[in-house]
Amino acid sequence: MKNSPVLSIVVFSVLRLAAFLVPFTLMMMLPAFAGLWWLAALFAALIGLSISVLFLRRPLADATTAMANRRAARTAAAEKPRSEREIEDEIEDAANDEAQQG
């Protein structure tokens, strides 16, 4: 059974947050980073980015595929087929424009 699109996006987001929050929490427990929370946040962001690039390729691919599929479905649903009357009106307008020009 295939995962739902929303589930893959949520899984990637949670894993990405964990890749930042775990190193940040561990660094904040160290006495060296007690007063330098911004430095701990910077290092945690770099560590989280590295973990994401190295280990979260598949969840990222699943999330981006799910988002692309949702967008394609939304645009396909938004494009309604033209009626026969609209097509005839366009042909008539083109013929009138051509007759006026030449």
| Inter-residue contact 82 to 23 (CB < 8 Å) | no
**Of 10-14, 25-29, 45-49, 96-100, the least confident:** 96-100
pLDDT tens-digit readout, 10-36: 988 999 999 999 999 999 999 998 889
pTM: 0.64
Average pLDDT on 51-76 reads 88
pLDDT tens-digit readout, 65-86: 988 888 888 887 777 677 888 8
Contacts of 13 (CB under 8 A, 6+ apart): 63
Expressed as residue numbers, the domain containing 10 is 5-101
What percent of the chain lies above the pLDDT cut of 70?
A: 92
Provide the domain count of the chain: 1
